[in-house]
A and B are shown apart, each in its own frame.
Chain A
Amino acid sequence: MLRMFFALTAGSLFGAGLMLSGMTDTAKVQGFLDLFGAWDPTLAFVMGGALLPMALAWRLAKSRAPLTGGSFPAPPQAGLDRRLILGALLFGAGWGMAGLCPGPAIASLSYNGWQGALFLAAMICGMIAAPGLIRHLDRRPANA
């Protein structure tokens, strides 16, 4: 039950933060990525504001266990691989096209019209298809 409470609280802070920061406005997100247009720096402030409490949380995590028990995530994996880089590039292309990434797409569901719902539906279809596509990618030799 406590896990539900923390999850709901975290989701509420995340959703409120995304809306209030302006990150559900596709014009501001595309404005940040549009270096050769009218550049909008807001996204950099959002990331800066988010990194500070999160970095503190990782420090706190070093000397204790999660409040609901269990353990913290394992330290980050070391190596880079093709999947990580190809995935990030595909994601970035879609992010630039529509100005929406997963968090804001979910947070703006109630006020982003049919357009937001269509994007979210397509995104979920992509997520459903992803494991099969990833298996296909992993089967190909690295130097193909």
Chain B
Amino acid sequence: MESDWIWGLAGGGLIGLGGAVYLLGNGRIMGASGILGGLADRSGWSTAAERIAFLAGVVLTPLLIISLTGSTPATHVTGNAAVLIIAGLLVGIGTRAGSGCTSGHGVCGISRLSLRSITATLGFMLAGILTLAVLRQLLGVI
């Protein structure tokens, strides 16, 4: 749709504002994989409470908006269980090995011109583009 970019820009602004609150308030980088991953592998259990508070906000606020507006956004997620499992494992392992995901490297890291974050973002975008080129355009399996 033509208005998609306006929603993109506005929603992006909220994401950046969230990162700003987390940084200026708590002195921490808002990275979704880092916040969840620190709970998953127990490396961040000393700060478990604020990690859980953050994640509660992430899950519950969309739910609140949906119940207020009465409209649920489409996700167009695949129904192929094998794709979901392999993709989930790759995202979980890759973001922890690479120390970040789209929010941590792509938003918080790039905005302070971190060379590592810029490299990681170029890396995961390139890998994503190649994956779509091969699995969708070439093989037609996703």
- Chain B interface, number of residues (Cβ within 8 angstroms): 108
Residues of A38-94 contacting chain B, CB below 8 A: 40-58, 60-61, 64-73, 76-80, 83-94
| Residue in A closest to B119 when the chains form the complex, CB atoms | A80
Contact A115 B79 (CB under 8 A): yes
Cα(A35)–Cα(B126), bound, Å? 11
A26 touches B77 (CB 8 A): yes
**Bound Cα distance A93, B108 (Å):** 21
Contact between chains at B36 and A106 (CB < 8 Å): yes
Given the interface pairs A14-B19, A108-B62, the reply to whether A102 lies near B135 with Cβ below 8 Å is no
Q: Which B residues, 104 to 134, have Cβ-Cβ distances below 8 Å to chain A?
A: 105-112, 114-117, 119-121, 123-133
With both chains docked as a complex, state the minimum distance between the C-beta of A47 and any C-beta of chain B, in angstroms: 6
Q: Is A144 an interface residue (CB 8 A)?
A: no
Q: B72 at the A/B interface (Cβ < 8 Å)? A: yes
Residues of B near A128 (CB, < 8 A) are 40-41, 92
Residues of chain B contacted by A101 (CB below 8 angstroms):
32, 91, 95, 101-102
Mostly, the A contact residues are: helix
**A91, B94: Cβ atoms closer than 8 Å:** yes
Measured CB to CB, the nearest residue on chain A to B91 is A94
**Given A11-B55, A30-B132, A51-B111: A102 touches B9 (CB 8 Å cut-off):** no
- With A21-B15, A87-B94, A92-B124 as known contacts, state yes or no: A6 contacts B8, CB within 8 Å: no
Collect the chain B residues with CB atoms within 8 Å of residue A7's CB: 22, 25-26, 50-51, 53-54, 57
CB of B129 within 8 A of CB of A33, answer yes
The interface centre, meaning the residue of B117, B131, B133 with most chain A CB atoms within 10 A of its CB, is B131
Q: Which residues of B contact A142 (CB under 8 A)?
A: none
Residues from chain B with Cβ under 8 Å of A37 in the complex: 132, 136-137
- Name 15 A/B residue pairs within 8 A (Cβ), A-sorted: A7-B57, A8-B54, A13-B14, A14-B103, A15-B61, A16-B11, A17-B11, A22-B73, A50-B13, A78-B115, A96-B129, A96-B135, A118-B84, A126-B91, A134-B97
A sample of 20 more A-B contacts (CB under 8 A), given A34-B133, A94-B92, A106-B36, is A7-B53, A7-B54, A15-B60, A16-B62, A19-B61, A34-B132, A46-B12, A47-B110, A49-B12, A51-B12, A52-B16, A53-B16, A88-B105, A97-B135, A102-B91, A123-B88, A126-B90, A126-B96, A127-B40, A137-B97
